């Protein structure tokens, strides 16, 4: 059977670099590759199906091209894969476009957001036949066998006689080694590795991809829905299987890999075996991963550095123990300091800290403590995001109980906590404190960690114009532009009063608004690109 898989993108989270094409002729995208659909494509092909992948980041395959291809090739199933609340509107727009052009093609949604909100998504987006929950490997094969009667396909939410039906959950698969390596080569795009900073910071021009060596996390931070998605379990591939994939990637010419694992640092023996395997096989790919600061695998940081682990990212969240406890992080400030120091001492080149601001019960003093703590830690890079609340998380449940959100009406909305929770500091205060805090962090870093900071800037300067690096440094001192980000504007667009009345009408009414905003956003992106291209020597997109 022929299957189309589409990775839906939120335009905020990728960019097209000025040097548009790689040496092999592929368009280059600064961002993460769509490993979800790549994983499914490999499984489908091994089972004898045909699969064509599309990525909304590809400027050569806009929605109109995807829709025309569906008309031309009439696939048995079109699967949409998207990660989160902010990409859901884009999935709805495309589903509606395709359904308008083709009344019979079967459409399926999958990914974390769709999984956690399946019946609501099915109700709000009736154009979609199946909302697929959880892991997709077995599910998609099963679904293809039963497209006309999915009653027995576990993990699928669908509609029977106008009623939304949620089939039972699929048993969580523990043997992850059984799946083939993701099908990275069929999608003719190359990806550029960058840091999650506002100015896309190119880390290397090596061929870049992502890998998933484990799934899930057993902790329960209040803002995170990973434990819900994975039923609180952590599952992993064997070290041998991971090393084999590295070998395969090295043969394919990849030079940089980032693990999309939720907590890579969980099992010391496994990490040790992976590092040993990488060294034994002479793997020179540089890699990065994320983990908790209370990991008991810290004695392995030197081994990881030796096995070319270049980037290590920690979810630090706050410099106030009170806030860490409020967020149920189950970690201490001392553990943060130890982990970051150990990672740097071990020779990990880039150690990153994820922080959140604008949390419930956070005071100005807590915020100040966070920035001062971040400044003093030997971190190379850091990000301070405003805390958002997503349906399914413990914080969402708390907000439902406190009457701050309505589970039935607000489930698809993107909320910064500070816009709905009176125990958060007001948005303007958070903004002012963050700007001041960032300035303090930058100054402290330059004065106290000059060598570390200059080394990092040198890495950025290898691949980025001086102008962009200078902007990165002076940005906190310039003050930030006012108003919401594109994603917020878009998410707000689906909240108009009329849409709250009936779920069935939501897509129709909102899509017009969404399409309008999408067109505006595309025009704006095109304008920015043209301006950038005009100032650089680039190969334009055809
Ligand atoms: C990598 C990542 C990113 C990357 C994006 C990479 C990309 N290609 O677009 C970056 C850093 C840009 C990012 C940004 C954001 N992210 Co993010 N991200 C992740 C992360 C860590 C891994 C995703 C991944 O690659 N998984 C590996 C692949 C193999 O799994 P998968 O995509 O889920 O696919 C499997 C199944 O879901 C299923 N499946 C998927 N699609 C389909 C389709 C069909 C038809 C079928 C049958 C099955 C199926 O089958 C696949 C194989 O089993 C997840 C956490 C997680 N564990 O999922 C968070 C996560 C998805 N992100 C999250 C969030 C909140 C965001 C942001 C909104 C953060 C922000 N405020 O800025 C943005 C929004 C991004 C967007 N809308 O595009 C939340 C989502 C919560 C929610 N309910 O919305 C998550 C769950 C993290 C968390 N701790 O809560 N993210
Ligand atoms: S440790 Fe990380 S992945 Fe685990 S629940 Fe907390 S935020 Fe989520």
Q: What is the pLDDT of residue 368?
A: 98
Taking CA atoms only, the protein residue closest to ligand 2 atom 1 is: 219
Residue 231 makes CB contacts below 8 A (sequence gap 6+) with 172, 216
- Spatial strand order in the sheet of 77-81: 50-55, 2-7, 77-81, 106-110, 130-132, 156-160, 163-166
- Under 8 Å between Cβ of 164 and 123: yes
Closest CA to 224 of 387, 456, 78: 387
**Pocket-forming residues, ligand 1, beta carbon under 6 Å:** 9-10, 13, 32, 34-36, 39-40, 79, 81, 83-87, 108, 110-113, 116, 132, 135-137, 139-140, 196, 212, 224-226, 260, 262, 388, 390
Report how far residue 197's alpha carbon sits from residue 473's, in angstroms, rounded to the nearest whole number: 11
Instruction: Compute the distance from residue 446 Cα to the ligand 2 centre, in Å.
Output: 31
Radius of gyration of the chain (CA): 23
pLDDT-derived band at 471, boundaries 50, 70, 90: confident
- Mean predicted lDDT score pLDDT of the chain: 89
Instruction: Compute the distance from residue 43 Cα to the ligand 1 centre, in Å.
Output: 19
Q: What is the pLDDT of residue 459?
A: 81
Pocket test for ligand 1, best of 14, 77, 83 (most atoms within 8 A of CB): 83
Mean pLDDT of 156-183: 97
Tokens of 450: 């000059």
pLDDT-derived band at 348, boundaries 50, 70, 90: very high
Report how far residue 323's alpha carbon sits from residue 318's, in angstroms, rounded to the nearest whole number: 6
Of 166 and 520, the structure prediction assigns the larger pLDDT to 166
Q: What is the pLDDT of residue 497?
A: 33
Report how far residue 449's alpha carbon sits from residue 106's, in angstroms, rounded to the nearest whole number: 56
Instruction: Compute the distance from residue 260 Cα to the ligand 1 centre, in Å.
Output: 9
How buried is residue 38: exposed, middle or buried, by Cβ count under 10 Å (0-12/13-18/19+)? Answer: buried
Per the confidence metrics, is the pTM higher than 0.85? yes
Of 272 and 452, the structure prediction assigns the larger pLDDT to 272
Please state the φ and ψ torsions of residue 416, each to the nearest 5 degrees.
Answer: -75, 140
Report how far residue 88's alpha carbon sits from residue 155's, in angstroms, rounded to the nearest whole number: 19
Lowest model confidence (mean pLDDT) among 148-162, 222-236, 276-290, 525-539: 525-539
CA dihedral 90, 91, 97, 100 (to 10 degrees): -140
Whether ligand 2 lies within 6 angstroms of the CB of 394 is answered as no
Q: Is the pLDDT of residue 509 over 50?
A: no
Tokens of 81: 């894969």
Whether ligand 2 lies within 6 angstroms of the CB of 215 is answered as no
Q: What is the pLDDT of residue 504?
A: 29
Residues facing residue 80 across a β-bridge: 6, 109
Q: How many CB atoms lie within 10 A of CB 176?
A: 18
The residue whose two tokens read 């890998």 is 211
Mean pLDDT of 509-525: 53
Please state the φ and ψ torsions of residue 357, each to the nearest 5 degrees.
Answer: -130, 165
Residue-wise pLDDT for 437-446, tens only, equals: 999 999 999 8
Pocket test for ligand 1, best of 32, 84, 146, 169 (most atoms within 8 A of CB): 84
Q: What is the pLDDT of residue 441?
A: 93
Instruction: Compute the distance from residue 31 Cα to the ligand 1 centre, in Å.
Output: 13
Whether ligand 2 lies within 6 angstroms of the CB of 216 is answered as no
Residue-wise pLDDT for 389-433, tens only, equals: 999 999 999 999 999 999 998 999 889 999 999 999 999 999 999
Report how far residue 51's alpha carbon sits from residue 478's, in angstroms, rounded to the nearest whole number: 48
Whether ligand 2 lies within 6 angstroms of the CB of 224 is answered as yes
- Under 8 Å between Cβ of 7 and 109: no
Report how far residue 54's alpha carbon sits from residue 50's, in angstroms, rounded to the nearest whole number: 14
Mean pLDDT of 258-263: 96
Residue 523 makes CB contacts below 8 A (sequence gap 6+) with none
Q: What is the pLDDT of residue 484?
A: 55
Instruction: Compute the distance from residue 290 Cα to the ligand 2 centre, in Å.
Output: 10
């Amino acid at each position: 059977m022929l299957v189309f898989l589409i990775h839906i993108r939120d335009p905020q989270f990728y960019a097209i670099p000025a040097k548009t094409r790689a040496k092999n002729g592929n368009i280059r995208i600064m961002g993460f590759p769509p490993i979800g659909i790549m994983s499914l494509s490999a499984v489908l092909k091994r089972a004898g199906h045909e699969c064509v992948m599309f990525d909304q980041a590809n400027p050569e395959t806009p929605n109109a091209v995807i829709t025309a291809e569906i008309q031309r090739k009439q696939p048995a199933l079109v699967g949409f894969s998207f990660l989160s609340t902010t990409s859901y509107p884009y999935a709805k727009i495309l589903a509606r476009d395709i359904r308008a052009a083709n009344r019979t093609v079967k459409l399926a949604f999958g990914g974390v957001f769709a999984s956690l909100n399946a019946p609501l998504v099915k109700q709000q987006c009736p154009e979609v036949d199946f909302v697929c929950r959880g892991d997709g490997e077995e599910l998609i094969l099963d679904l293809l066998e039963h497209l006309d009667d999915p009653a027995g396909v576990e993990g699928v939410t669908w509609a029977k006689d106008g009623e939304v039906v949620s089939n039972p959950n699929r048993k969580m698969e523990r043997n992850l080694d059984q799946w083939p390596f993701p099908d990275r080569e069929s999608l003719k795009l190359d990806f550029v590795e960058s840091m999650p900073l506002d100015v896309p910071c190119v880390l290397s021009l090596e061929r870049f991809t992502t890998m998933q060596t484990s799934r899930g996390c057993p902790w329960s931070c209040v803002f995170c829905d990973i434990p819900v998605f994975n039923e609180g379990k952590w599952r992993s591939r064997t070290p041998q299987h991971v090393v084999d994939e590295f070998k395969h990637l090295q043969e394919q010419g990849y030079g940089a890999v980032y693990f999309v694992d939720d907590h890579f640092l969980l099992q010391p023996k496994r990490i040790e075996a992976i590092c040993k395997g990488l060294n034994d096989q002479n793997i020179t790919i540089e890699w990065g991963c994320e983990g908790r600061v209370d990991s008991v695998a810290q004695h392995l940081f030197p081994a990881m550095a030796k096995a070319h682990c270049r980037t290590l990212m920690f979810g630090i969240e706050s410099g106030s123990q009170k806030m860490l406890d409020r967020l149920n992080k189950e970690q201490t400030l001392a553990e943060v300091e130890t982990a970051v120091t150990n990672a740097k001492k071990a020779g990990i080149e880039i150690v990153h800290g994820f922080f959140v601001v604008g949390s419930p019960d956070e005071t100005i003093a807590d915020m100040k403590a966070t920035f001062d703590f971040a400044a003093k830690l030997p971190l190379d890079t850091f990000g301070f995001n405003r805390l958002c609340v997503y349906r399914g998380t413990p914080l969402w449940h708390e907000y439902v109980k406190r009457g701050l959100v309505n589970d039935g009406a607000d489930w698809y909305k993107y909320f910064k906590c500070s816009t709905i929770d009176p125990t958060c500091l007001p948005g303007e205060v958070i903004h002012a404190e963050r700007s001041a805090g960032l300035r303090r962090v930058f100054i402290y870093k330059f004065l106290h960690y000059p060598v570390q900071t200059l080394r990092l800037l040198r890495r950025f300067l290898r691949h980025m114009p001086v102008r962009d690096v200078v902007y990165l440094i002076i940005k906190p001192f310039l003050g930030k532009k006012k108003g919401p980000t594109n994603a917020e504007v878009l998410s707000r667009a689906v909240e108009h009063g009329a849409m709250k009345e009936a779920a069935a009408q939501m897509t129709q009414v909102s899509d017009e608004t969404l399409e309008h905003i999408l067109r505006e956003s595309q025009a704006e992106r095109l304008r920015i690109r043209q301006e950038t291209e005009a100032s650089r020597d680039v190969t334009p997109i055809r």
